[in-house]
Amino acid sequence: MRGVVFLGERQLELREFPDPTPGPGEVVVAMKASGMCGSDLHPYRAAGNAAQALGLGGSGGPVIGGHEPCGVVAAVGPGVSESDAKVGQRVMVHHYWGCGQCKHCRVGWSQLCKKGIVVYGMTGHGGHAPFMKVPVRTLVPMPEQISFEEGAAISCGTGTAYGALKRLDVSGRDTLAVFGQGPVGLSATQLGTAMGARVIAVDIAAERRNLAKEFGAETVIDPRAVDPVAALREMTHGEGVEAAIDCTGNPEARVAAVRSACTWGRVCFVGEGNTTTFDISQDMIRKQLTIVASWTFSAVGQEECARFIAERRIPLSKLLTHRFKLEEATAAYRLFDTQTTGKGVFVF
């Protein structure tokens, strides 16, 4: 089979790999959809080893990219029972694997394992190929109403937004500012609205602001046209927003998220990379601010996110604006790198 390998410096290639066969406790998933996530742009753009730069470890050897895998079980290895996985079963993959035994792994947070982790698509073979081999315990069940493309989105970008909104404990009492309307920010807008919050979406791109309005944002802000902190204060009687989330990783946006929060407000950082400087006294201590960080979600959280979307009939499919064949990977990532669209997904 052929899989997408990120070479860095905005180059990728479709490289030949042997078809995987499952070992003990493993399954092979036949891919139906494999999403493109903002963090794929790190290995795509990187000059060096992006996985190491993100603190994810790995040998730096070539791996198949893609960490939003969704498909059907194609083969099961020795020791995998019928109740673990059946051939033909529709599944998402929690795209991390750890020791499987520590306190983090046992509750589904394998990415927090201290014994070394595999991040599929970054340090282990991911979903940008027709087949993917994973431990059966990485599989996450999918509600019937969730399509493979939606399942792929939930497997990182949308699930990450859900996890961050939970960390922020967002409710209908909140005005929520979402900085950045890429695939994670747009999901935060859509899910935050479904959780009852009044959502104000911030993005420099008109196309993404328009999508944000479609996804339920009450108001949108172009931070290049107006000062977002002043605008958000004005919309909240001078108080600031109860909750803010940064999905950009951009230092200016992070500072704006912190400054736009009200006294006793909550802020969550999701966008990765960079360093950011705050005035701790003025921006945080004087406001009794709570700042949290959120790294994706647990395997259990991923299932919960899918159920939330299915039960509330949230039209997540609208997020998926671009569909590609794997052979179009070069053009697909070039578009993702330069354009401000919704979300792209490879379909099989």
Strand duo 26-35 + 131-135: pairing: antiparallel
User: Which position among 105, 140, 195, 267 is part of the footprint of Zn ion (CB under 5 A)?
Assistant: 105
Task: Using the minimum distance from each CB to Zn ion, give the nearer residue, 98 or 192.
Answer: 98
**Contact flag: residue 245 with Zn ion (CB under 5 A):** no
Does 37 participate in binding Zn ion (rule CB under 5 A)?
yes
Write the CB contacts of 18 (distance below 8 Å, at least 6 apart in sequence). 1
Taking the least distance from each CB to Zn ion, the nearer of 89 and 296 is: 296
Rounded Cα gap, residues 161 and 153, in angstroms:
11
Nearest to 178 by CA among 168, 188, 170, 190: 188
**Interaction pattern, residues 65-104, with Zn ion; x per rule: CB under 5 A:** ---------------------------------xx--x--
CB of 227 to Zn ion, least distance (A): 30
- The CB-of-129 to Zn ion minimum distance in angstroms stands at 17
Strand residue runs (E) in the chain: 2-8, 11-16, 26-35, 69-76, 90-93, 96-97, 118-119, 131-135, 139-141, 175-179, 198-202, 219-221, 241-246, 261-269, 290-293, 320-324, 343-347
Are 181 and 189 within 8 A, CB to CB?
A: yes
By CB under 5 A, how many residues form the interface with Zn ion?
A: 8
Contacts of 281 (CB under 8 A, 6+ apart): none
Q: By CB under 5 A, is residue 292 in contact with Zn ion? A: no
Site for Zn ion in 154-173 (CB under 5 A): 156
Binding of Zn ion at residue 188 (CB under 5 A)?
no
Counting contacts by CB under 5 A, is residue 39 touching Zn ion? yes
Among 4, 12, 33, 113, binds Zn ion (CB under 5 A): 113
Cβ proximity to Zn ion: between 1 and 102 the closer is 102
CB of 322 to Zn ion, least distance (A): 16
- Listed in sequence order, the residues at least 6 apart from 133 whose beta carbon sits closer than 8 Å to its beta carbon are 20, 21, 22, 23, 26, 27, 28, 29, 125
String of contacts with Zn ion for each residue 317-346, x by CB under 5 A: ------------------------------
CA distance 259 to 282: 9
Let me know: does 178 contact 245? Beta carbons within 8 Å: yes
Q: How far is the CB of 54 from Zn ion (least distance, A)?
A: 11
State phi, psi for 94 to the nearest 5 degrees.
-75, 115
SS3 184: helix
Binding site for Zn ion (CB under 5 A): 37, 39, 98-99, 102, 105, 113, 156
